[in-house]
Amino acid sequence: MKILITGGAGFIGSALIRLLINETDHEILNVDKLTYAGNLESLKSITNNPRYKFICADICDSEAVNRFVLEFRPDKIMHLAAESHVDRSVDAPGDFIETNIVGTYTLLNAARRLQDSGADLLFHHVSTDEVFGSLGATGLFTETTPYSPRSPYSASKASSDHLVRAWGETYGLPFVITNCSNNYGPYQFPEKLIPLMIMNALAKKPLPIYGNGENVRDWLYVDDHARALYMVATEGQVGETYNIGGNSEKTNLDVVNTLCDVMNELQPAEKFYYRKLIIHVTDRPGHDLRYAIDTSKIKRELGWQPEESFDTGLRKTVNWYLNNLPWCKAVAGGYGQERLGLQPVN
Ligand code: NAD
């Protein structure tokens, strides 16, 4: 099979490509613009494989998109390219509208052209549970939960989910959509909670928790997500949505406390040293209280469930960062772990 992956130099896309190259025989074309979040270092282990090709392109560039889609003629398009950081969407929503909405539209049009030329293909849109909005203390997001996005990021992902469904209904483009909870694991850009805390703890900098730290997220180890994506792309029902999650609900404060304890074991410091670095800072504007996922559909229909618990996944993650500090330095570029998302533009 030929699989076109957009955003393959990012955190989840690179995990997916490593999985597909190492564990399947498929031919992979990775298309990525290499924004601050994309780094080919994350694909170093598979770059020389003859089944892997890379094109540097912007998914909003319709000429380039039409060219690579019609030349490569993929059996599946797995679309992950996106602006993905909520705090950045607060500061500068324009890039999110461009890449996440216009970019998805551009890719859908190219997919439609390919289909019109007689190809049999599937468009897989990789999305987030944040499209469903915020839960109270109880309840879970299911595949039929109404959309209620509340940040520029989640609104742009909700828009792209709707576009994909519309292209399916209106033009008969075969699609699947997956909505997943918070991922963590190796190769995640150090602006996201877990790698940011690891890097700050190592630098003996404060560990900033937004607000009271009681916001709840579900956490999934990235390789479990990559396996789920491959399963949905190959065995999922066309026209269906699948929720993916780790059945690991944690408050942000719990996540950082546990991380501090793992750090203490793997990079020993005086007892509770890392926990003492925790500080509370101004909350994120519009910070959703709780996300939680009902994963029974993907478990029942495809037999998928996560292999890692939060404890085993977190330990692997901390270990990986401790052993890959040069990767962190190389990708961080101009990002100095500063606070983002407090200065909305007018
Ligand atoms: P990421 O920010 O690490 O990677 C995004 C990749 O897309 C980067 O390699 C970047 O260079 C590329 N990209 C950005 N704009 C582009 C453009 N205009 N043209 C081509 N490439 C472009 O993101 P991630 O965390 O790997 O997330 C991947 C996908 O999964 C996103 O669609 C995101 O919404 C979704 N998702 C992420 C999470 C999570 O916890 N990280 C959870 C659920 C869903």
Please give the number of the atom of ligand 1 that sits closest to the Cα of 59.
Answer: 19
| Atom 28 in ligand 1: residue holding the nearest Cα | 80
Please give the number of the atom of ligand 1 that sits closest to the Cα of 13.
Answer: 26
**How many whole angstroms separate alpha carbon 179 and alpha carbon 146?**
13
pLDDT tens, 49-85?
Answer: 999 999 999 999 999 999 999 999 999 999 999 999 9
Q: Quick one: pLDDT band at residue 339, thresholds 50, 70, 90?
A: low
Residue 212 is classified by DSSP as T
Q: Quick one: pLDDT band at residue 345, thresholds 50, 70, 90?
A: very low
Please give the number of the atom of ligand 1 that sits closest to the Cα of 188.
Answer: 3
**How many whole angstroms separate alpha carbon 37 and alpha carbon 87?**
14
Calculate how far, in angstroms, residue 81's C-alpha sits from the geometric centre of ligand 1: 5
Task: Please report the pLDDT score of residue 330 as a whole number.
Answer: 83
175-184, 288-297, 318-327: which has the highest mean pLDDT? 175-184
Task: Please report the pLDDT score of residue 284 as a whole number.
Answer: 81
Calculate how far, in angstroms, residue 185's C-alpha sits from the geometric centre of ligand 1: 14
| Atom 17 in ligand 1: residue holding the nearest Cα | 58
Task: Please report the pLDDT score of residue 273 as a whole number.
Answer: 86
Give strand pairing partners of 124: 78, 176
Q: Is 157's C-beta closer than 6 angstroms to any atom of ligand 1?
A: yes
Residue 45 is classified by DSSP as T
**How many whole angstroms separate alpha carbon 93 and alpha carbon 96?**
5
pLDDT tens, 230-273?
Answer: 999 999 999 999 999 999 999 999 999 999 999 999 998 887 78
The C-alpha angle with vertex 180 and arms to 176 and 182, in degrees rounded to 5, equals: 160
Q: Quick one: pLDDT band at residue 341, thresholds 50, 70, 90?
A: low
Q: Is 59's C-beta closer than 6 angstroms to any atom of ligand 1?
A: yes
pLDDT tens, 105-147?
Answer: 999 999 999 999 999 999 999 999 999 999 988 999 999 999 9
Calculate how far, in angstroms, residue 273's C-alpha sits from the geometric centre of ligand 1: 34
Q: Is the pLDDT of residue 346 over 50?
A: no
Helix spans in 131-221 (H): 152-171, 193-202
Share of the chain above pLDDT 70, in %: 97
Q: What is the mean pLDDT of residues 38-43?
A: 95
What are the tokens at 290? 């709780």
| Atom 14 in ligand 1: residue holding the nearest Cα | 82
Contact indicator for 234, 303 with CB cutoff of 8 Å: no
pLDDT tens, 196-218?
Answer: 999 999 988 999 998 899 999 99
Q: Cα 122 from chain centroid?
A: 20
| CB-count exposure of residue 205 (10 Å: 0-12, 13-18, 19+) | middle
**How many whole angstroms separate alpha carbon 119 and alpha carbon 110?**
12
Q: Quick one: pLDDT band at residue 282, thresholds 50, 70, 90?
A: confident
Task: Please report the pLDDT score of residue 311 as a whole number.
Answer: 96
Q: Is 218's C-beta closer than 6 angstroms to any atom of ligand 1?
A: no
Please give the number of the atom of ligand 1 that sits closest to the Cα of 79.
Answer: 32
Give strand pairing partners of 125: 79, 177
CB atoms within 10 A of CB 11: 25
Helix spans in 172-242 (H): 193-202, 222-235
**How many whole angstroms separate alpha carbon 24 and alpha carbon 149?**
36
Residue type, 174: P
Task: Please report the pLDDT score of residue 113 as a whole number.
Answer: 98
- Catalytic residue set: 129-130, 153
What does each C-alpha distance from 183 to 6, 206, 214 come to in angstroms? 18, 23, 19
Residue type, 64: A
Give φ, ψ of 44 to 5 degrees.
-55, -40
Q: How far apart are the first and last CA of the chain?
A: 47
Q: Is 12's C-beta closer than 6 angstroms to any atom of ligand 1?
A: yes
Q: Is 38's C-beta closer than 6 angstroms to any atom of ligand 1?
A: yes
Calculate how far, in angstroms, residue 267's C-alpha sits from the geometric centre of ligand 1: 30
Task: Please report the pLDDT score of residue 268 as a whole number.
Answer: 86
